[in-house]
Structure 1
Amino acid sequence: MKTDKVILGVLGGLAAGAIMGILFAPDKGEKTRKKIKRKSNDYADDLKDKYETALDTISKKYETLKQEGQDLYIEGKSKFDKTKKELENLDIKNLNN
C-alpha cells in the first residue's frame, strides 16, 4: 500500500507541476516545452529510482524471511527427530519390562 501511495503522490506532483509550469511560464512555447520535457524526465528518473529502491527492499526482506523459514524448518525437524527417537526408546524399554 505504501508504494502505491508514493507512486500516486509522484504522479500527482508531476501532473500538478506540469500544469503550473505551463500556466505561469514566462517563456515562449519551445523553451517551455523543453523545460516541461526536462522536468518530466527528472520526475521519471526519480520515480524509477524509488521503484528500484522499493523492489530492492522487498527482495531483501523476502530473502531474509525465506532464510528464517528454512532455519525454523531445520530446527523443528531436528526437535521432531529427537523427540521421535526418545519415544521409540521409551517404547522399547516398556516392552522389555
Structure 2
Amino acid sequence: MKTSSTILGILGAAAAGAFIGVLFAPDKGSNTRKKIKDKSRDYGDNLKSKFDGIVNTITSNGKEIIEEGKSKLNQVKEDYNTLKDDAKTVKSNY
C-alpha cells in the first residue's frame, strides 16, 4: 500500500504542476481551457488505470490468501481426524 500511495501522490503532484503550467502559459482562453480539459482527461484515465491495477492486485492476492487458508484448514481437519482415529485405536487396545 505504501508504494501505491507514493505513486498516487506523484501522479497528483504531476497533474497539479501541469495544470499550473497551462494556466500561466501565454495562450488564448479557449486553447487554455481545451488543454486543461485534455490534460484532466489524460490524468483521470491514468489514475483510473493505476487504481484498477491496484484493485486487481489486491483482489488477486486476497483470493490467493483465501485459497491458502482453505487448504491449511483442510490439512488441519485431516490431521485432527487422523489423531482422533489413532486415539480411538489406542483406547480400544487397552
Give the length in aligned residue pairs: 93
Deviation at 1:35, TM superposition (A): 0.5
1:42 aligns with 2:42: yes
1:3 counterpart residue number: 4
1:31 aligns with 2:27: no
**Any gaps of 5 or more consecutive residues in structure 2?**
none
Q: Deviations over 1:35-84 (max 9, x none)?
A: 11100110001000110111011101100110010011001110110011
Q: Structure 1 residue runs of 4+, over 4 Å off? A: none
| Counterpart AA for 1:7 | L
**Any gaps of 5 or more consecutive residues in structure 1?**
none
| Counterpart AA for 1:50 | K
Q: How does 1:1-97 map to 2 (within 5 A)?
A: 1-23=2-24, 25-94=25-94
Aligned alpha-carbon RMSD (Å): 1.1
- Alpha-carbon distance in 1 for matches of 2:17, 2:35: 14
User: Between Structure 1 and Structure 2, whose CA radius of gyration is higher?
Assistant: 1
Percent identity between matched residues is 29
